[in-house]
Amino acid sequence: MPNSLTVSVIGLGYIGLPTAAMFASRRTRVIGVDVNPLAVDTINAGGIHIVEPELDMIVRAAVSAGHLRATLSPEPADAFLIAVPTPFRDDHEPDMRHVRAAVESIAPVLTKGNVVILESTSPVGATESLIGWLAAARPDLVFPRKTGDVCDVHVAYCPERVLPGQVVRELVINDRIIGGVTPACAERAASVYSIFVTGELLRTDVRTAEMCKLTENAFRDVNIAFANELSLICDRLGISVWELIRLANRHPRVDILQPGCGVGGHCIAVDPWFIVSKTPEEARLIRTAREVNDDKPRWVRDKVAAAVDELAANDRQPRIACLGLAFKPDIDDLRESPALGIACALAERFPGRVMAVEPNIEALPKSLGGRATLVELEEALEQADVLVLLVDHKPFRKIRPSLRAGQRLVDTRGIWA
Ligand code: SAJ
């Protein structure tokens, strides 16, 4: 059934575009807004500028049916969803410039009865700042306050929690946190999401909702840090961390995650800092977990360098193969990838001696191109003296190579170790 609501999604990236597409797929009129003309043109032509399974079909159908349209500047709508990036600065402080710009861009077109929903991962207190920016731009409108339900525009904070690669499915079925500035704001926001979300819509206040998103990713970061720290301890003690974790996980209440070459992506390596920056005195474990995970690529590089030095001592010019460049298995996303960072650092340290295998890409990214060669797995296995398994992509998991004499293996994912 079509509904009469017009939803505007500000920021058509990895979250905004799928969200816009899901509303449109339910025959809601959607106006997508992005500052990137290329993204706007691509979407209006029925295409997508990001990689996410199934999304292209849904966008194409939505655009051709006239339910989704992209534009460079906001237009009047009933609901405004803000899904722009919130990176951190060099000092790990959240950078809210994009959110503020988005808020200020919608302010002129707001009218009584609208609802504004912030989806971007944000530090606690961000939604209150958002209300301050709106109120400054539109003194003629009444915005909600914690006490009292009277307002012209409802405001809520509703974070996404979808896994890249499964966004289309998870957007619909995941339970969703709906943080309202007031209970009425939460109800308004919930009614918007009920258009396509089949998961439960869990109402709470804005600060709890903001903290909930950060907590989910900090929880995962701390748990991965535990696994990564164990891998260092086991290496020092001559124990296989993989066997250890397998055995420990047979305890009914133990569930340790897997060590790797570091934590990448745009969420888990970023969001915990939003907690640390607000409460540095208290967030000791969360900060340490970040530091443990951020240091793991250095440890891997040192391991590889030690193997290379050992072989080089026998008068050889060892060749290195980096297996996997993406930030996690079975995706082609190289952004914020520790594996790519390790490959770049090795290529710089050992010029002309690094090969890379990445089954999910056609060409090496700029940062590595010219300094390493992209080869097939078979070639790497045959030619390399040091094999560095960085990402456990399916094609790598399928085989179990036998090392020839003098060949070294640094297996950060424990699939061949
Ligand atoms: N990793 C490990 N060991 C593990 C699991 C993951 O080293 O046992 C590494 C991965 O290789 C990768 C990084 O952690 O480099 C992050 O990968 P991920 O699969 O844990 O998470 P993301 O970044 O793809 O998505 C996360 C999800 N958050 C949680 O699982 C709590 C997702 O639900 C969020 O929506 C997303 O962040 C987000 O947008 O915040």
Closest CA to 357 of 399, 326, 317, 402: 326
Fold of the 3-208 domain = Rossmann fold (3.40.50)
Q: 3-state class of 81 per DSSP?
A: strand
Per-residue pLDDT of the chain (417 residues; tens, 9 = 90+): 557 899 999 999 999 999 999 999 999 999 999 999 999 999 999 999 988 889 999 999 999 999 999 999 999 999 999 999 999 888 889 999 999 999 999 999 999 999 999 999 999 999 999 999 999 999 999 999 876 678 999 999 999 999 988 999 999 999 999 999 999 999 999 999 999 999 999 999 999 999 999 999 999 999 999 999 999 999 999 999 999 999 999 999 999 999 999 999 989 999 999 999 999 999 999 999 999 999 999 999 999 999 999 998 876 799 999 999 999 998 888 989 999 999 999 999 999 999 999 999 999 999 999 999 999 999 999 999 999 999 999 999 999 888 888 899 999 999 998
CA distances from 58 to 23, 31, 135 (A): 10, 15, 36
Atom of ligand 1 nearest to the CA of 265: 23
Q: Using CA of residue 193, residue 10, residue 170, residue 162, what is the dihedral sign?
A: negative
Residue 268 Cα to ligand 1 midpoint, Å, equals 6
Annotated active-site residue in 267, 296, 322, 328: 267
Q: Known catalytic residue: 213? A: yes
Which among 168, 211, 217 is the best mutation to test ligand 1's pocket, defined by most ligand atoms within 8 Å of the CB? 217
Task: Supply the residue whose CA is at minimum distance from atom 9 of ligand 1.
Answer: 263
Residue 217 Cα to ligand 1 midpoint, Å, equals 8
Q: Are 245 and 256 in contact (CB under 8 A)?
A: yes
Report whether residue 245 contacts ligand 1, using a CB cutoff of 6 Å: no
CA distances from 342 to 304, 323, 326, 356 (A): 10, 11, 11, 11
pTM above 0.85, yes or no: yes
User: Which residues belong to CATH 3.40.50.720 in the chain?
Assistant: 3-208, 233-411
154-157 and 176-180: which strand pairing?
A: antiparallel
CA distances from 38 to 57, 71, 207 (A): 19, 11, 35
Task: Supply the residue whose CA is at minimum distance from atom 11 of ligand 1.
Answer: 328
The architecture CATH gives domain 233-411:
3-Layer(aba) Sandwich (3.40)
pLDDT, tens digit (0-9, with 9 covering 90-100), for 138-161: 999 999 987 667 899 999 999 999
Cβ neighbours of 228 (radius 10 Å): 26
